[in-house]
Structure 1
Amino acid sequence: MTVCDPSPKTALAIRVVLRIWLLSLLVWGLCGCSHLGYYWQSVSGHVQLMRAARPIPDWLADPATPPLLKTRLASAQTLRDYAVRELSLPDNASYRRYADLHRGAAVWNVTAAPPDALTLHTWCFPITGCIGYRGYFDLADARAEAARLRQQGLETHVYGVPAYSTLGWLNWAGGDPLLNTFIHYPEGELARLIFHELAHQVVYLDGDTSFNESFATAVELIGVRQWLAQAASPQARQEYARSDAQRLGFRDLTRATRTRLEAVYARARQDDGARSELAQQKAQVMTDFRQRYAQLREHWQIDAKRQAGYDQWVANANNAAFGALAAYDALVPAFESLYEQQQVQEPAQAWPRFYEAVRQLARLPEAERQRRLQALAPVSSPGPETPIHPAGD
């Protein structure tokens, strides 16, 4: 594969980004050396990603680009155009370039939770607010952070993430690129990811992971259903139907397990006798979960890499892992209901009206926002789980 130096425009953008972030680092460094080190790895990791990215036309014109990659890049651009034209998602620089990172994940996230709750430990950042995960560009750094948290008595989960969003802040510098970590996904799964990440550029509420991820997940699900009906090939529809059936089965299993764990923890908080039995009851719930998963996977027909990712997740599942899943699906039914309201009222403008309604929710005080979301759809209603990827602690 031919590797080219960044264009003068891209190189200038990288230098400007680096200078801005270096200035930010000096300010954030007042918080302490450990924070400064974390922000530096974030800056340097993203700059390396930007340097690796080239415009899609360059890859398509390069004779060294493998034919299969050219096909996937062309497909991704078709999906990107569909997102703008049919879903009213932003028309900007994001996902118009491609980078091969020569690794299996864009970043590795760390989540943590106490042994007796599914509530995620949070980290607070200057731009995104407080969120329930911390991302690292190096797996060893993520594992070191997880080890530090375990010393504090927390359960931890480390998982690879194929893509992340810069929330549109860096579109002027080239935006978020397509990556080797997901470009070879089946077409329907690729559509889901692109729609999801672009949704973060439409609405993002500082400090509310569940709101942000549930909204983006709702956009991805509604959007991919629309794409399947309007633009997908018969093969893509068949592939998606198979993967979706597997995903829904796993979703139902993990949701049922979360409900059982939450019940065990609630009893322990209310009853000292139940607390003494917490470890035993928790272990039984996890044993049942793994047994039911073994039965479920016997009926799956998915590729070996995806299967390995699920197997690894189940083997390492704990409160931190289940807590991370909850962030992606807890409010999805409410957002789907909100979209349906706009679809009924004005079908041709359903997407813009939906986004504006979500923005209005984001402006509300937290208590009022939660009340309105719960009124739209029960929080316990089914929703999709976040994708499981082959990476872990």
Structure 2
Amino acid sequence: MPRTDDTASFICRLCRMFILLAASLSTGGCYLIQAASGQLELTSKRQPIAKLLTDERTPEKLRGRLEYVSAARTFASQELGLPDNDSYRSYADVGRPYVVWNVFATDEFSVRPKRWCFPIAGCVVYRGYFKEDNAQSYARGLRLRGSDTAVGGVAAYSTLGHFKDPVLNTMLGWSDVQLASTLFHELAHQVVYVPGDSEFNEAFATVVEEAGLQRWLASLGRLKDLDAWNEQRERNAQFVALLLQTRERLDALYRSDLPDDQKRDRKQYEFGVLKLEYSQLKTEQWKGYRGYDAWFSRTLNNAHLVSAATYYGCVPGLRRLLQSVDGNLPLFYDKTRELAKETREARAAAVCADETPPVTATNSTN
């Protein structure tokens, strides 16, 4: 259980939040209330990691994972210049495989994500629910109104430093590499966050995550892990490239003057091409690696492409920015903060220009 002063502080913040809610029920008061309730649940379940590490009742497996988390958390502040605060210095078991489920949506003939606007966070390209049933119900309602939707479970959670975010049981089943990279990613959001610009925010955190993980693994002398991570990073870049190329073709289709029936047929054809391209990439370059098979096993739609555009669209430009300062992370943070002061259009022109990463697998012709 949290300390009494923590609980009182949280309740005060909730009171301020509900004042905002009263003035903004048109944005979805019930949705925001469930979000506040979910945050209260996390707060009530968190326990200090330092205390768990000294408690003889802590299971050895859990102790080992928390020791690793604690070391990576210290590295994040001391070596990467990420915030040295109470985030990810506590642990909470939420008793489920995911902490939240995100809903993404687009119009039937659009690759542009729907956005929802809320106090504090600004406008984002998803709605997060602490109960899967609520997420699926909301997605069904959108589909009935003609939208494409996708629902995905999320194992990590961040309030951008507004609360003392805990490490969750949903994260501890990951590999060491994924666990450390997620800590770096979520802490990066506390360094730079522009309300309403998800693409920029996620790309910045992704670049920090990449740089941080390379340095973390090198510091541990885990060169084999670093090699394996670089190989996976290359596969992921090729996977994202496939999605972004499909997104561009669909965007051109939706902007065309074709009748809706023909657009629907061509839309399904393009997703079929995407699956074929993946199969070729897997066979010809990945030596049969099947790590993305589950992603492609679904009936795909526009909404499944939202994450690729959101998380990776601005990554190449921000990587170049980091390279321009010779990998100096504090200087990179300063330059990114300057970009954050610009208009969305200026940021997009500087680092988010449309660039589709090259894919060397054989592409099917239309």
CA distance in 2, matches of 1:142, 1:297: 32
Q: 1:330: which partner in 2?
A: 313
CA distance in 2, matches of 1:232, 1:328: 29
Q: Find the residue that maps to 2:110 and give its secondary structure.
A: coil
> For the Cα contact (< 8 Å) 1:253–1:293, is it kept in 2?
yes
Q: Find the residue that maps to 1:181 and give its secondary structure.
A: helix
Q: Find the residue that maps to 1:135 and give its secondary structure.
A: strand
- More divergent stretch after superposition (181-190 vs 203-212): 181-190
1:223-262 to structure 2, matched below 5 A, reads 223-241=212-230, 243-262=232-251
2:349 to 371, 375, 387: 371
User: Cα distance, 1:246 vs. partner?
Assistant: 4.1
1:289-368 to structure 2, matched below 5 A, reads 289-294=274-279, 296=281, 299=287, 307=291, 310-312=293-295, 314-343=297-326, 350-368=328-346
Q: 1:283: which partner in 2?
A: 268
1:205 to 186, 194, 198: 194
Q: TM-score, normalised by structure 2?
A: 0.89
> For the Cα contact (< 8 Å) 2:200–2:314, is it kept in 1?
yes
Q: 2:145: which partner in 1?
A: 152
Q: Find the residue that maps to 1:164 and give its secondary structure.
A: coil
CA distance in 1, matches of 2:101, 2:185: 18
Correspondence 1:272 to 2:258: yes
Q: 1:390: which partner in 2?
A: none
CA distance in 1, matches of 2:238, 2:345: 33
Mark the CA change 1:76 to 1:310 in structure 2 (over 3 Å): closer, same or farther.
farther
> For the Cα contact (< 8 Å) 2:240–2:308, is it kept in 1?
no
> For the Cα contact (< 8 Å) 2:109–2:254, is it kept in 1?
yes
CA distance in 2, matches of 1:119, 1:318: 12
* Number of residue equivalences: 355
Q: 1:94: which partner in 2?
A: 87
> For the Cα contact (< 8 Å) 1:186–1:239, is it kept in 2?
no
Q: 1:185: which partner in 2?
A: 174
2:355 to 380, 383, 387: 380
Correspondence 1:25 to 2:8: no
User: Cα distance, 1:205 vs. partner?
Assistant: 0.7
CA distance in 2, matches of 1:119, 1:67: 47
CA distance in 1, matches of 2:14, 2:342: 35
CA distance in 2, matches of 1:255, 1:131: 20
Mark the CA change 1:316 to 1:72 in structure 2 (over 3 Å): closer, same or farther.
farther
Deviations 1:289-319, CA, capped at 9 Å, x for gaps: 22343455564557xxxx5x85155414210
User: Cα distance, 1:287 vs. partner?
Assistant: 1.4
Q: Find the residue that maps to 1:159 and give its secondary structure.
A: strand
Q: Find the residue that maps to 1:250 and give its secondary structure.
A: helix
Identity percentage of aligned residues: 35
User: Cα distance, 1:142 vs. partner?
Assistant: 0.5
CA distance in 2, matches of 1:206, 1:189: 26
> For the Cα contact (< 8 Å) 1:189–1:240, is it kept in 2?
no
Q: Find the residue that maps to 1:111 and give its secondary structure.
A: strand
The Cα RMSD (Å) is 2.3
CA distance in 1, matches of 2:344, 2:289: 42
1:75 to 68, 71, 89: 68
Correspondence 1:104 to 2:97: yes
Q: Find the residue that maps to 1:204 and give its secondary structure.
A: coil
> For the Cα contact (< 8 Å) 1:157–1:320, is it kept in 2?
yes
Read off the aligned partner of 2:112 and give its amino acid letter: T
1:53 to 16, 38, 46: 46
Read off the aligned partner of 1:213 and give its amino acid letter: E
CA distance in 1, matches of 2:244, 2:345: 24
Correspondence 1:7 to 2:17: no
> For the Cα contact (< 8 Å) 1:187–1:236, is it kept in 2?
no
User: Cα distance, 1:256 vs. partner?
Assistant: 3.0
> For the Cα contact (< 8 Å) 2:148–2:302, is it kept in 1?
yes
Q: Find the residue that maps to 2:317 and give its secondary structure.
A: helix
Q: TM-score, normalised by structure 1?
A: 0.83
> For the Cα contact (< 8 Å) 1:290–1:314, is it kept in 2?
no
Mark the CA change 1:145 to 1:232 in structure 2 (over 3 Å): closer, same or farther.
farther
CA distance in 2, matches of 1:117, 1:65: 50
Q: Find the residue that maps to 1:124 and give its secondary structure.
A: strand
Q: Which runs of 5+ in 2 are unaligned?
A: 359-366
User: Cα distance, 1:242 vs. partner?
Assistant: 5.2
Read off the aligned partner of 2:298 and give its amino acid letter: A
Q: Find the residue that maps to 2:196 and give its secondary structure.
A: coil
Correspondence 1:125 to 2:108: no
Mark the CA change 1:6 to 1:230 in structure 2 (over 3 Å): closer, same or farther.
closer
User: Cα distance, 1:176 vs. partner?
Assistant: 1.0
